[in-house]
């Protein structure tokens, strides 16, 4: 079911869980280090699974990473962030991938699974995700866009963005799984794991990312991409599961646009490496996208795919 977080309920919860407690430079500090780093030589940085069965692609991708047990979700509250910006094909995270993610978290013993969004229930219904959340026993938590429902978080290493406004409901969770679709974008030509985190930042704050002529002016585009990279320094997902099954390569991020169908699910922890890999699906490189370069400069991840251990299988 969709749970609308209104003002009265928010105040009640704030008193209960102490949302007013200040946070440091990491929104969820214990996610700063990837559990995959402990896997030694057997580690897989990026798992890429191809095939028409997107549910099983997702299961297999997590298996290739070493299994969901490696991520330690038992008795934890898990936040999921799929992309539901638009209803057009190739613009939103596929229902089967979200369904698989919920089941994977349940298998790992998660205490609670919450899908967070400041978009409307209609967005979730149009993408076919509202029913998936309900059927699988997760909770859809829709946050009002009022600024009182977002918490100011300082960004010490930020070059363009010095403060984020993260939805307060996010702090109710122990860990975070980022679930974007990779696709075209009107300005920087690419959306993926890095950009998806704008879905946790307030719409008002996000507007400051966009200067005049942000689709055509180089300096405005650099500002947008630097803001996104800066935001990623304080939000650190435990895991990323990316829909690269069917995506638009033009007229993004809302579409409709020209579609390609790589039929891939990509999973891993390194957001820079994942995004760099996904650019190759329509003939680019990570180095072609300012945002990915800025993420690399922030040491969020590795841009050189030759240094990344990628395991690709087809099922």
- Tens-digit pLDDT profile for residues 231-240: 999 999 999 9
pLDDT digits (tens, 9 = 90+) for 69-126: 889 999 999 999 999 988 999 999 999 999 999 999 999 999 999 999 999 999 999 9
Q: Tell me whether residue 56 is exposed, middle or buried, using C-beta atoms within 10 angstroms of its C-beta: 0 to 12, 13 to 18, 19 or more.
A: middle
Secondary structure of residue 1 in the 3-state scheme = coil
Query: In whole angstroms, what is the distance from residue 167 CA to residue 181 CA?
Result: 21
* Mean pLDDT of the 267-290 span: 97
Residue 26 confidence (pLDDT) above 70: no
Percent of the chain, pLDDT > 90? 78
Query: In whole angstroms, what is the distance from residue 103 CA to residue 99 CA?
Result: 6
Strands 46-50 vs 2-5: parallel, antiparallel or unpaired: unpaired
**Domain ranges, ordered by start, for the chain:** 2-8+39-314
Residue 39 confidence (pLDDT) above 80: no
Per-residue pLDDT at 8: 41
Residue 141 confidence (pLDDT) above 50: yes
Residue 245 confidence (pLDDT) above 50: yes
Per-residue pLDDT at 251: 84
Per-residue pLDDT at 173: 96
Confidence grade of residue 210 (pLDDT, cut at 50, 70, 90)? confident
Per-residue pLDDT at 38: 41
Residue 25 confidence (pLDDT) above 50: no
Least Cα distance to 276 among 268, 284, 63 occurs for 284
- The fold of the 2-8+39-314 domain, in CATH, is Rossmann fold (3.40.50)
For 131, phi then psi, to 5°, come to -65, -35
Q: Do residues 51 and 314 make contact, with C-beta atoms less than 8 angstroms apart?
A: yes
Residue 299 confidence (pLDDT) above 70: yes
Query: In whole angstroms, what is the distance from residue 185 CA to residue 64 CA?
Result: 30
pLDDT digits (tens, 9 = 90+) for 149-195: 999 999 999 999 999 999 999 999 999 999 999 999 887 789 999 99
């Amino acid at each position: 079911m969709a749970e609308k977080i209104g003002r009265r309920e928010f105040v009640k919860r704030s008193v209960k869980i102490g949302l007013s407690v200040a946070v440091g430079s990491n929104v969820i500090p214990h996610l700063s280090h990837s559990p995959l780093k402990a896997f030694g030589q057997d580690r897989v940085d990026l798992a890429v699974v191809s095939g028409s069965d997107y549910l099983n692609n997702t299961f297999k991708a997590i298996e290739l990473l070493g299994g969901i047990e490696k991520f330690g979700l038992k008795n934890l509250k898990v936040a999921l962030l799929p992309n539901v910006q638009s209803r057009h094909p190739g613009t939103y995270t596929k229902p089967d991938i979200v369904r698989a993610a919920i089941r994977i978290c349940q298998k790992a013993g998660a205490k609670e699974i919450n899908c967070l969004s400041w978009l409307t229930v209609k967005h979730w219904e149009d993408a076919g995700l509202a029913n998936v959340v309900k059927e699988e026993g997760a909770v859809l938590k829709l946050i009002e866009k009022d600024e009182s429902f977002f918490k100011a978080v300082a960004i010490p290493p930020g070059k363009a963005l010095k403060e984020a406004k993260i939805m307060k409901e996010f702090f109710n969770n122990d860990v975070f799984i980022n679930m974007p679709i990779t696709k075209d974008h009107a300005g920087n030509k690419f959306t993926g794991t890095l950009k998806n985190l704008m879905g946790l930042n307030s719409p008002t704050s996000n507007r400051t990312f966009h200067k005049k002529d942000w689709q055509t002016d180089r300096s405005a585009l650099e500002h947008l991409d630097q803001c996104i990279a800066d935001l990623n320094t304080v939000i650190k997902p435990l895991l990323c599961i990316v829909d690269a099954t069917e995506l638009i390569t033009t007229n993004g991020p809302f579409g409709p646009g020209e579609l390609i169908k790589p039929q891939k699910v990509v999973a891993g922890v390194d957001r820079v490496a994942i995004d760099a890999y996904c650019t190759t699906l329509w003939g680019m490189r990570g180095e072609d996208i300012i945002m990915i370069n800025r993420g690399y400069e922030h040491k969020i991840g590795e841009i050189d795919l030759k240094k990344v251990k990628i395991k690709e299988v087809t099922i």
